């Protein structure tokens, strides 16, 4: 019996330490049986298992039925990790063997609070989807002793920031140990002495996430707290953290023998990893830094999430000298100015700060934004690095984010989708999902929504009651909280980071009009608001106070609530229960925004600004839109107009559609919109789709390019550096001669003289260029070198002909580098225009 108990206890530990439980809830009933109160408060199996008394655990495990269930669950977990999946079936024989995904934060579960918001949401959901699809990925991040702050709302509506300690013993992490059992520790050279980093492992289904922290007893007290807080402190602390993440993270992978072909930087915070990767290649091949960077950059991918250039991390040259001067000289073999040039718009400006995004841009083989619109915005942001290049050709693409649907669907949603599409619907190519959902009946969809709304109302009452009790509001207020909301009323949700550009108070622009909408007796509306403002963001905190004061108005308080401490657990309840998710950012400052994606799987609808993901998702049959698809800055008049439009949409479209019912008491128009949103948008904006897109559009080409450059000890890197140096030195000697343009018989004919200077003809590509018409693509036609021409040495003639469908004056000639092995303009941003 004792051995059976021990086997089941081992199974429990394995189940609790695998964050697969955060999206697979088969074991929830087990944790509930162990410690029901603690489970309901934390939803953290590892805390439950660490806290439950040994006596109670022994009593429970004496139940042979429970033991069998636990062992079956563990067997199912192991089988799921070993089962073939999408990547095995489609790409297992390719060049991609490993991807390292670096991120400053990961939102995987409330049990592991090392996240602040959207960036961590994307990172966590992509890791989970990669596990589902068996993509060979590794996550690399930091283990924060306090993480991001927790929020308390005071009696006067003021936000208070709390920083509870993240006890590693209470987190689902394990120390990473070497083969001999010693804790794996990574040394870094820091001013004043070595910095020792401890390493931790998190199981995420099939994958591992590795976390580093500086709280090692061997470190100076000054350094032990470097990883204490996420996004806290000043520039020096941020630089220290990013050195640990990038340089320390890559060294950890080397020590594990897991150096990947592809290094994916989730934002510029992790960009120092590209330097350490190049240093590692230098050590392996004896190639110099420039050649090693040329080789390894082909395997690096940079995803930017920032919609304004001011959002990039920048560090003063003196701070860079303090922390990375010796690293540049001793480890990379280059003077610090050579390193700083990689992070400057003007490499020769010694006073310019070092920009982490510029480093990532110059040291990766591909760059992408996180929505179609954000790709356009990012091209504008990075345009200074590519002077004279058309904005359309600035080398930033896009892969629109998606959410890990199994992490965000409610129990009722899971049943509905399973019945419609099957149990493994999010583990393949999603081809059958859309039509399957369209076959679900109106009645079934409406019952599903009603159940989800009812669950949210019950949660809101409990959470608000607890919130009021802890803030000292008194027993009467806490009891009244159990009466808020109506399970049958239209429920709106708004939860964001409270920053002015997100305009969290646009809905509150006319407080009296909003109160009238909420308190309509015939068609009542209820509103759940949540969100945090950064502790240093005074204007954001003022916006929170406005909402708190509004929801405390006597006529409003049963129709609107502000729930404090916006975290992953609260998000789950909100996105599962609301009927409409509202989002009102100032376009184009919302890079993507994934919160509205989470409601899709749960049958919620979106009413959002045409920004981020909604700019490409919106259709009149799937939701409602604010804005005209243009940028208006922070014009107060535009804010007023959009607030008025928001109220009109609610009054004239959203509310009437929700309350107009047929003889079965079903709102048919609402259900039609809901069904179309679920069917069309849920698969399109899932992390399943985005991860498969990353694999096929980014990872596989990057792995192939890296392997090609790394062959023969990186000899290709030296050749590429030589060709780049030749272009850099020879480009100023290049010039145009005569340009002849004429029209004959309906054809424009062009001839242009090119004086090559110090460059060979084979290094140049001549193109005939005309700007786009009617928002279409630009016209770019290759010009052919006239092989028969024998003229002045160093001069060539190029010719082209094009149908005379537009004015001949629209066309001009340009020269760009021609090299199949060099990414133009990412690696070679040279261009010369004829006029």
Using a CB cutoff of 8 Å and minimum separation of 24, what contacts does 737-743 make? 737/795, 739/813, 739/834, 739/835, 741/808, 741/811, 742/808, 743/804, 743/808
Distance CA 275, CA 605 (A): 44
Report strand pairing: 764-770 vs 99-103. Answer: unpaired
Distance CA 104, CA 120 (A): 8
Residue 396 · residue 424 · CB < 8 Å: no
Distance CA 555, CA 577 (A): 23
Contacts of 256 by beta carbon, 8 Å cutoff, 6+ apart: 176, 184, 210
Distance CA 558, CA 483 (A): 7
Q: Which two tokens stand for residue 554?
A: 């006597």
In what order do the strands lie in the sheet containing 735-744? 735-744, 747-755, 795-803, 784-785
Q: Please count the CA atoms within 13 angstroms of the CA of 104 that sit on its side-chain side.
A: 27
Q: What residue ranges of the chain have pLDDT lower than 50?
A: 1
- What pLDDT does 203 receive? 97
Can you tell me which residue has the tokens 């003289």?
Answer: 753
Distance CA 494, CA 186 (A): 43
Residue 620 · residue 673 · CB < 8 Å: no
- What pLDDT does 440 receive? 95
Q: Which of 412, 393, 283, 128 is nearest to 713 (CA)?
A: 283
- What pLDDT does 824 receive? 96
In Å, what is the CA distance from 526 to each residue of 214, 668, 670?
A: 46, 21, 17
Distance CA 625, CA 614 (A): 8
In Å, what is the CA distance from 351 to each residue of 273, 300, 323, 325, 357?
A: 24, 28, 17, 16, 17
- Stated as kind and residue range, the H or E segment containing 606 is strand 605-609
Can you tell me which residue has the tokens 């599962």?
Answer: 576
- What pLDDT does 715 receive? 94
Report strand pairing: 605-609 vs 580-583. Answer: parallel
How far does the chain reach from its first CA to its final CA, in angstroms? Answer: 87
Q: Which of 136, 186, 175, 321 is nearest to 694 (CA)?
A: 136
The 10 Å Cβ neighbour count of residue 595 is 24
- What pLDDT does 219 receive? 95
In what order do the strands lie in the sheet containing 764-770? 779-782, 764-770, 812-817, 832-833
- What pLDDT does 2 receive? 56
The 10 Å Cβ neighbour count of residue 33 is 16
Cα 153 to chain centroid, rounded? 28
Residue 519 · residue 556 · CB < 8 Å: yes
Can you tell me which residue has the tokens 């600004």?
Answer: 609
Can you tell me which residue has the tokens 């303090």?
Answer: 322
Contacts of 604 by beta carbon, 8 Å cutoff, 6+ apart: 493, 575, 578, 579, 580, 581
Distance CA 493, CA 418 (A): 26
In Å, what is the CA distance from 655 to each residue of 551, 663, 676?
A: 20, 19, 19
Q: Residues of CATH 3.40.50.2000 domain(s) within the chain? A: 443-686
The burial class, CB within 10 Å (0-12 / 13-18 / 19+), for 725 is exposed
Cα 474 to chain centroid, rounded? 41
Distance CA 126, CA 402 (A): 8
Rounded-to-5 percentages of helix, strand, coil across the chain:
45, 20, 35
Residue 594 · residue 611 · CB < 8 Å: no
Report strand pairing: 174-175 vs 193-204. Answer: antiparallel
Distance CA 590, CA 609 (A): 9
Question: How big is the chain, counted in residues?
Answer: 835
- Stated as kind and residue range, the H or E segment containing 647 is helix 636-649
Can you tell me which residue has the tokens 């489970």?
Answer: 39
DSSP letters spanning 529-559? EE----TT-HHHHHHHHHHHHHHTSTTTTTT
Is this structure's pTM higher than 0.85? yes
In Å, what is the CA distance from 11 to each residue of 72, 88, 533, 791?
A: 9, 27, 41, 81
Q: Residues of CATH 2.60.40 domain(s) within the chain? A: 734-833
Q: Which CATH class is domain 443-686?
A: alpha beta
Q: Which fold has domain 734-833?
A: Immunoglobulin-like (2.60.40)
């Amino acid at each position: 019996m004792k051995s059976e108990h021990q086997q089941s206890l081992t199974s429990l530990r394995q189940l609790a330490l695998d964050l697969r439980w955060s999206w697979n809830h088969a074991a929830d009933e087990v944790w509930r049986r162990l410690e029901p109160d603690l489970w309901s408060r934390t939803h953290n199996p590892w805390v439950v298992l660490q806290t439950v008394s040994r006596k109670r655990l022994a009593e429970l495990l004496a139940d042979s039925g429970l033991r069998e269930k636990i062992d079956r669950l563990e067997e199912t977990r192991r089988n799921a990790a070993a089962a073939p999946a999408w990547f095995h079936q489609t790409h297992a024989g390719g060049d991609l063997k490993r991807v390292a995904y670096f991120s400053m934060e990961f939102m995987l579960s409330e049990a592991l609070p090392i996240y602040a918001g959207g960036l961590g949401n994307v990172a966590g959901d992509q890791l989970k989807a990669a596990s589902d699809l068996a993509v060979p990925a590794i996550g690399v991040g930091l283990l924060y002793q306090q993480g991001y702050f927790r929020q308390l709302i005071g009696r006067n509506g003021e936000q208070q920031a709390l920083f509870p300690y993240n006890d590693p013993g209470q987190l689902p992490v394990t120390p990473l140990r070497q083969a001999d059992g010693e804790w794996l520790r990574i040394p870094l050279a820091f001013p004043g002495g070595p910095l020792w980093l401890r390493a931790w492992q998190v199981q995420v289904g099939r994958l591992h996430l590795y976390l580093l922290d500086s709280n090692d007893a061997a470190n100076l007290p000054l350094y032990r707290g470097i990883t204490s807080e996420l996004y806290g402190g000043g520039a020096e602390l941020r630089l220290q953290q990013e050195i640990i993440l990038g340089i320390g993270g890559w060294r950890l992978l080397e020590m594990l023998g897991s150096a990947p072909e592809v290094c994916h930087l989730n934002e510029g915070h992790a960009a120092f990893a590209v330097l350490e990767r190049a240093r590692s290649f230098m050590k392996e091949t004896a190639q110099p830094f420039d050649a090693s960077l040329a080789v390894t950059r082909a395997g690096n991918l940079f995803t930017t999430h920032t919609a304004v250039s001011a959002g990039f991390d920048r560090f003063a040259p003196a701070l860079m000298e303090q922390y990375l001067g010796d690293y540049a000289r001793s480890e990379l073999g280059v003077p610090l100015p050579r390193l700083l040039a990689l992070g400057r718009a003007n490499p020769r400006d010694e006073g310019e700060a070092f920009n982490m995004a510029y480093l990532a841009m110059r040291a990766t083989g591909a760059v992408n934004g996180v929505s179609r619109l954000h790709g356009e915005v990012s091209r504008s942001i990075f345009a200074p690095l590519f002077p004279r290049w058309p904005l359309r050709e600035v080398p930033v693409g896009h892969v629109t984010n998606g959410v890990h649907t199994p992490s965000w669907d409610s129990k009722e949603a899971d049943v509905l989708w399973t019945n419609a599409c099957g149990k493994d619907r999010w583990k393949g190519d999603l081809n059958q999902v859309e039509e399957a959902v369209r076959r679900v009946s109106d009645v079934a969809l409406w019952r599903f929504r009603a159940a989800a709304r009812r669950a949210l109302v019950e949660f809101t009452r409990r959470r608000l009651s607890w919130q009021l009790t802890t803030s000292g509001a008194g027993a009467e207020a806490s009891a009244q909280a159990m009466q808020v909301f109506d399970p049958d009323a239209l429920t709106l949700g708004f939860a964001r980071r409270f920053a002015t550009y997100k305009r969290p108070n646009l809905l509150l622009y006319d407080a009296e009009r909003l109160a009238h909408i909420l308190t309509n007796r015939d068609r009542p509306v209820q509103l759940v608001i949540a969100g945090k403002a950064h502790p240093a963001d005074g204007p954001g905190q003022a916006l929170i106070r406005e909402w708190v004061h509004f929801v405390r108005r006597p006529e409003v308080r049963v129709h609107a609530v502000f729930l404090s401490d916006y975290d992953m657990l609260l998000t789950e309840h909100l996105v599962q229960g609301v009927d409409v998710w509202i989002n009102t950012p100032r376009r184009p400052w919302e890079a993507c925004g994934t919160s509205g994606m989470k409601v899709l799987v749960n049958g919620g609808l979106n009413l959002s600004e045409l920004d981020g993901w909604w700019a490409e998702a919106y259709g009149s049959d799937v939701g409602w839109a604010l804005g005209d698809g243009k940028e208006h800055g922070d014009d107060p008049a535009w804010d007023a107009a959009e607030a008025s439009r928001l109220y009109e949409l609610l009054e004239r479209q959203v509310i009437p559609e929700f309350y107009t019912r047929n003889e079965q008491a079903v709102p048919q128009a609402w259900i039609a919109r809901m069904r179309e949103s679920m069917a069309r948008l849920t698969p399109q904006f899932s992390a399943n789709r985005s991860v498969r897109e990353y694999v096929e559009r980014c990872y596989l080409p990057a792995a192939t390019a890296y392997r090609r450059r790394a062959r023969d000890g990186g000899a290709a890197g030296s050749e590429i550096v030589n060709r780049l140096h030749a272009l850099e030195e020879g480009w100023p000697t290049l010039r145009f001669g005569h340009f002849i343009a004429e029209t004959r018989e309906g054809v424009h004919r062009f001839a242009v003289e090119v004086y090559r200077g110090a460059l060979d003809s084979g290094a140049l590509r001549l193109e005939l260029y005309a700007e786009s018409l009617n928002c279409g693509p630009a016209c770019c036609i290759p010009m052919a070198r006239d092989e028969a021409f024998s003229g002045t040495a160093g001069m060539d003639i190029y010719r082209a002909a094009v149908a005379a469908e537009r004015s001949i004056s629209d066309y001009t000639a340009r020269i760009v580098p021609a090299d199949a092995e060099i990414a133009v303009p990412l690696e070679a941003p040279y261009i010369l225009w004829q006029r």
